[in-house]
Amino acid sequence: MKNPIKSYNIANVGENDAEINMYGEVVSARPTDWWTGEPIPGNFIALDEFLHDLNDLETKDNITVHINSVGGDFYAGLAIYNRLRSMKANITTINDSLAASAGSIILQAGNTRKVRAASNTMVHGVLGLLMGYYNVQDLKGVIKQFEAGNRALVNAYVEAGGQDPEKVKHYIDKETWLTGQEAVDAGFADEVI
């Protein structure tokens, strides 16, 4: 199997500084072709690959993360958020264009969260695709999973920005699109670049 091109780039920009460019869809694992087993071309920020590469930055003092992402897998985005938040480095996240869905969760990982004036941040509650046959108990179980996911999502946004949980819940109960300054005003970013 060929090594796929990664849609994120990690670069050392000094002895103690690093920069990460995350431009792509957030996925738990890189999608592969069912028939050939080969990686499917596309801009995928694969959780397993990213966390492996992130280990190389454990000793850095400052990490800047540039984001342009349509989002993707909720739990992959949440895992990246939690790993970045747990690092000793000072993390600065920057929304270069779009931080949507799981991408907006990653944006929250910064000690300082910056947005471009001409950028969009989109937040919403947990979504899922159901295929197959389900009984009432199965569907109630899915609802409980979604509700737990929404509580975790609210906790991440509140932890990062200090907003009121009910205000955050209001934003994620519907799909909310925000421009640069609107994201700051709503508490999903700290400053406009």
Q: What is the DSSP letter of 75?
A: H
Distance (Å, whole) CA 140 – CA 129: 15
Q: Nearest Cα to 72, choosing from 24, 143, 8, 5?
A: 24
Going by C-alpha positions, the residue among 96, 97, 114, 104 that lies closest to residue 191 is 114
For residues 107 and 67, is the Cβ–Cβ distance under 8 A? yes
| Residue pointed to by tokens 């995350």 | 22
In 3D space, the residue among 130, 125, 119 whose CA is nearest the CA of residue 175 turns out to be 125
Closest of 71, 63, 65 to residue 89, by C-alpha: 63
Return the residue matching tokens 């700290």. Answer: 190
Measuring CA to CA, how many Å separate 30 from each of 1, 126, 176?
13, 21, 28
First and final CA of the chain: distance in angstroms?
41
Positions annotated as catalytic residues are 101, 124
